[in-house]
Amino acid sequence: MTTVEEGLRSQLRNIEATYGRSIDDWIALIRASSLTRHGQIVAMLKADHGLPHGAANRLALVALDSAATAPADPVDALYADRPAVRAIHDRVWETIRGFGDDVETAPKKGYLSLRRRTQFAMVKPAAKHLDLALVLPDAPTTERFESAATFNALFTHRVRIRSEAEVDGELTEWISRAYDRAG
């Protein structure tokens, strides 16, 4: 006996075979239309692509379900209007990933918390730089490695990173020490 899930998968395979597009292509086409209501999507697929009602209905349901279950990338959301700061973030993240793959990110409103066993860092985009906060209670402050007391009480130090070039050996050492402490 065929299950409902098998029947739906078969219907999607038939749509792909009959109309010459993958389901992912249909979903992309629907997303590009900016339509968000089931009835509007069905009508568009029937009018613009000549699909019968059953195929248009199934594709609309699949597309709306994929939009509802696809999590938005919190990093993309943080840097949507700050591509230069995103490049700095990516460089910092590359450095952190070099220590190991056990870093958990916890998206918060406006920043990302970085944890191992405990939280060790936070990255927060600003208009023209990236704020990196670290937990290193025994480390002295410097002009570059400033106190985080007025920035965020959970952290001991903050570094304002204004370019990818500032993700250097000194910064990597501070991040590494905070990472090690949290493990």
Q: What is the pLDDT of residues 60-99, one digit of tens each?
A: 999 888 766 545 678 888 888 888 999 999 999 999 999 9
Q: What is the pLDDT of residue 55?
A: 93
Using the structure block, give the residue that is written with the tokens 């999590």.
71
What pLDDT was estimated at residue 34? 85
The residue segments making up the domain with residue 143 are: 74-181
Q: Do 123 and 157 belong together in one domain?
A: yes
Looking at 52, 69, 86, which one is the last position of a domain? 69
- In this prediction, residue 68 carries a pLDDT of 62
Domain boundary among 31, 54, 69: 69
Give the total number of structural domains in the chain. 2
Q: Are residues 99 and 171 in the same domain?
A: yes
Residue 57 CB-half CA count within 13 A? 5
- Token pair, residue 154, equals 């959970």
Weakly modelled stretches of the chain, pLDDT under 50: 70
Alpha helices in the chain (DSSP H): 4-19, 23-33, 38-49, 53-69, 74-78, 83-97, 169-181
Q: What confidence score (pLDDT) does residue 69 get?
A: 57
The per-residue pLDDT for 21 is 87
